[in-house]
Every structure is written in structure tokens, then in C-alpha cells.
A = this chain, B = another copy of it.
Amino acid sequence: MAPKDKEKRGKDTLKNPKGTRDWSDQDSTLLNDIFHQIRTVLSRYSTQLDTPVFELADVLKGKYGEDSKLIYDLADQGGELLSLRYDLTVPFARWLAMHPEVREYKRFAIGKVYRRDQPAIAKGRMREFYQCDVDFAGSGASTMWDSKIVAIVVEVFEALEWQGHYTIKLNHRKILDGIFEVCGVPEDKIRAISSAVDKLDKSPWEKVRTEMVETKGLDEAVADKIRTYVVQRGEKWQGSKELLESLKKDEALQANAKAKQGIDEMEVILRILEVLGAHRDISFDLCLARGLDYYTGIIYEVVTEGSAPATVNGGDAQQVQAEGKSKKKKKELTEDDDRSDDPSVGVGSVAAGGRYDNLVERFLPGSDMQCVGVSFGVDRIFSITKARLAQGKKFSYVSSTATDVYIMAFGGKEFSGLSAERLLIEQMLARAGLKVEYSAKDKPKPQLQFKNSEKCGAKYAVILGEDEQARGEVRVKELGLPDGHPEKEGVLVKLENLVSEVTARMKGLEVTEKVKDLEVAK
């Protein structure tokens, strides 16, 4: 190939596919810290199920309504026709149907899913993104599990240290359907009207009403009656309980079988959440409807300051504050990243789910498996956490990516480079949990080593010399000490004491830094 062609080809292919991203360095570390927190909680209550990234095309067919056009198909290269998974829920239903002997199953799943959508990176809409789901399936699944999934959501966001920064919006499909019946929505219009109601978190009532009346042919009086219900939001726990009480007193709803069942279930669910201490950030919200057709009971959605601005809900004070704050940081955040991590752009909900009792039956006619679950939008949780870190918020579970120790070797004219010895010291320190760097050159120049140690921000240098080596000693030097400091030139340490010496010094440094932090805070 001529060099010119080579270059051209090189340029064309030097990218990752549209709507995907490579996770590297600090982003990758933070993502893994987040996964670790979520996994720790989910594995308390479920076991992991890992399904292939593709399914038989027929498994996905007809499961996503209009969104089926977003499914990635594999090329027909002979053999089975395959599609990339669109979510983790349908593969779980497929697995349950393949194992009819399993009568009860609690599983979590972590994996990438694929949607051939127009990517909108700033909104967190990618073609390949992580989902993390937990779902409980059983033949006699009850409100216990409805509550338990919500309690797990709370436990996850507590593990992520988001306390006070998120709201779990809660509603019940049976209550909603009951309301529609009571208001006089014809049965064949209920799903369409429900999905119009779902837009109330983004659109004002007038727009939604127009959709109901003009597009979907609903009677105006019926639409206005719906309004009296769906504007009711139970703000946090107190408001949620009050809303429940008012629904219990609503004679029209109590006379409707569906609504009554939904309200009764909601009462049990709220009581259980209170016993579990998982009730504080709940908001019972009658305008939450969720898009997917297959929900049959409780539904929920977790929103945070970084979620899409809620027009009808008025955008609460916290959110506005976050928007103001983050604007200053915007430039900084986007410089080394191709997606805007400004939390004010609104990435939508960070977790959502509900009860879906008929999905398994679609694979296995006659199955009575009922499911309830939640899906965490890990990419969005990542973006918001990263933005908060940039704003100075600390999370105890976030790993440091800073270099602790830089290993150097110096010598005279006949210097061997002490490569093996540097690697040995790296191995000792790395096994003790320290982040270590060194030059990969066989005989690195002193200047280069000092420059690199600065560049990676190492706190300590461990310096090898041939004379010290012969005596079984190395020099430990805190970097950045002022001239005249008694330990400016470092201290000699026996090799066998190196790990304990450095870790003790690192801890001392941490204490000093914390004291400094406190002093700055004062």
C-alpha cells in the first residue's frame, strides 16, 4: 500500500464508533468505584446473571413497540439471525422462560446495552451504554418485593453517598388506570392517554392536554377531570402519606376496583418502606406513568439535580442552585472529555423500573412468573458523580488515582540501570497497595526520572544507587520538601523495612493533609 493510502486509511478508522466511548484513566476508575458500590448492595439480595451481548433476533422482536427500529441487527453471515440486546430485562425474561423449573429468582445484571438512536452525548444518550438491573421474579410475588426493590434503590444511592440529592418518584399503574376509568377515558385509549400523562414532567399541562384532545381524540371534559388527579404530587414522605390519605377518601376511586387495589397496595408498600427506613426520599407522584407498555403495578423513577429539568414540577431550588454552580465549571469539565458532564444539562432519570407481570408469559405461554425490578443508568450516575467531584464534593468510595511513589535509580559511568531491582521494589510496594511509577528505560537519566516523578505528582521517591544496593538499602525521599528541611535529601532505609516505612509515612502524610484541609475549611 502506498504511504498516502495508508495515511488516509489511518485517519478514517482512527475513531470509536459514533455514540460509543472508551473508558480510560480516571473515568474508568470512577466508573469501577461506582460499579463496586452498586454491586456490593445488589449482591446482598440477588445473584448475578450474565447473558450474551446478542440474542436471537426473534427474542427481541415485538418487545419494544416503536423502539424496535433502534435494535442493532447482526449481518446475516449464515446461521442464526442475531441482534444486540436492547436492555437487560428481555434477556432475563428469556432466561426465566428457559428455566421453568425455577420458581423464584432474584438476579442482578451489569452490562452494556445497544440502541441505534441518534446519539445526544450531552443528554447522556449513547448508542452503547451500561445498565445495571436488579429484578425479582416469582409466581407469588407480592407487595413485599415491590417495597424491597425500592428499598434496594435507596440502599444503592446511600452507598453512592447521594443522600439528600435524589428523589424516588413512585406511582402505581393500577391507580392510574383506575383514575382514567373514573374520569371516563375509553378503555382503548388508556395506554395512549397514560403515555401523554408521562410527559408532564417535561411539558406543561396545556401541551399535554392538547395532545390528549387533539391528537388522541379525548373528550375535553375528561381531560380536565384527569388534570385534577395527575397534578397531585406527594412531596417527600409527608406529602406522599397525605396524598395516599386523600386517595383513600376519594369515593369515586374507592368504588373503582383497579384504583382501590392499587391504593391498597400502595398503602402496604409505603408502610413497609417506613419500617425499612427507606421512606425519606420517596415522592408519590400521580403524573409518573412511565413509557413502557409492560408495567402492571408499582412504577418508579429516580431523579436528581442532574436529571432533566421538570417544567411542570417547577424545577426545585436545589436544582436551580446546582445549575448555577456548575456553569462555572463547565469549561473545565469538558476540556478533556468529549461529553459535557455539566449536571445542569439534564440527563433524565438515573434509575427506573416497576412491576411487569406478563413478560415471561410472552416467551412461555401459561407462565405465572411475575417480576418487579429496577434499572440503574450507570453512565448517567457516573456523569453526575464526576461533575459533583469537580465541584469539590467528596465521596468516600472514590479511589485515588494519584501516584504514591516514584522509583528512581542513579549510578555512575558503568551504571547497570538496576532494572530488576526497581521492578522488585515496585512489586513490593504495589502489593502493599501503593501506586508506583518508574521509568521503563533500562538506564534512565536522572533528569528524566525527576521530571517524570513531578509529572505524575508522586508524593515520595524511592531512590536506588549501586552502593546503597550493595548494603541492602534504598533512599526514601518525600518530594517537594522545602530547602533546608532536615529530610530534604531523604532517609536511608533497609530494604526489608521499606514497605512498612513508606506506608507509615503515607499515613502520616494523609493525616497532615487532613489537618491542612480542616485548617483551610476554617
Binding site for B on A (CB under 8 A): 3, 6-7, 9-10, 12-18, 20-25, 28-29, 31-32, 44-45, 47-56, 58-59, 72-77, 79-80, 82, 84, 94-95, 97-98, 104, 107, 112, 114, 116, 128, 136, 138, 140-145, 147-148, 151, 155, 268, 271-272, 275-276, 363-365, 401, 419-424, 426-427, 430-431, 440-442
CB-based contact B20/A52 at 8 Å:
yes
CB-based contact A440/B144 at 8 Å:
yes
Which residues of B have CB within 8 Å of A420?
147, 271-272, 275-276
Known: A151-B427, A275-B421. 13 other contacts (CB 8 A): A15-B98, A20-B54, A47-B401, A72-B74, A72-B77, A141-B440, A142-B419, A142-B442, A144-B440, A151-B423, A268-B419, A276-B420, A276-B424
CB-based contact A16/B52 at 8 Å:
yes
CB-based contact B276/A9 at 8 Å:
no
CB-based contact B272/A423 at 8 Å:
yes
Which residues of B have CB within 8 Å of A7?
365
Given contacts A72-B74, A107-B24, contact A13 B47 (CB under 8 A): no
CB-based contact B48/A29 at 8 Å:
yes
Number of copies: 2
CB-based contact A97/B14 at 8 Å:
yes
CB-based contact B144/A10 at 8 Å:
no
CB-based contact B16/A147 at 8 Å:
no
Residue from B48, B74, B155, B423 in contact with A275 in the complex, judged by beta carbons closer than 8 Å = B423
Which residues of B have CB within 8 Å of A136?
440
Which residues of B have CB within 8 Å of A97?
10, 14
How far, in whole Å, are A80 and B15 apart by their CA atoms in the complex? 11
CB-based contact B74/A47 at 8 Å:
no
Which residues of B have CB within 8 Å of A95?
22, 24
Identify the interface centre among A31, A44, A72, A94: most chain B CB within 10 Å of its CB.
Answer: A44
How far, in whole Å, are A215 and B9 apart by their CA atoms in the complex? 35
CB-based contact B423/A276 at 8 Å:
yes
CB-based contact B48/A23 at 8 Å:
yes
Tell me the smallest distance from the CB of A364 to a CB of chain B, in Å: 6
Tell me the smallest distance from the CB of A278 to a CB of chain B, in Å: 9
Which residues of B have CB within 8 Å of A25?
47
CB-based contact B47/A144 at 8 Å:
no
Tell me the smallest distance from the CB of A460 to a CB of chain B, in Å: 17
CB-based contact A56/B17 at 8 Å:
yes
Given contacts A10-B97, A140-B440, contact A28 B52 (CB under 8 A): no
CB-based contact B77/A50 at 8 Å:
no
Tell me the smallest distance from the CB of A396 to a CB of chain B, in Å: 16
Residue from B14, B18, B440 in contact with A98 in the complex, judged by beta carbons closer than 8 Å = B14
Which residues of B have CB within 8 Å of A44?
430-431
CB-based contact B98/A45 at 8 Å:
no
Tell me the smallest distance from the CB of A502 to a CB of chain B, in Å: 15
How far, in whole Å, are A276 and B419 apart by their CA atoms in the complex? 11
Which residues of B have CB within 8 Å of A401?
47
Tell me the smallest distance from the CB of A93 to a CB of chain B, in Å: 11
Tell me the smallest distance from the CB of A57 to a CB of chain B, in Å: 9
CB-based contact A147/B79 at 8 Å:
no
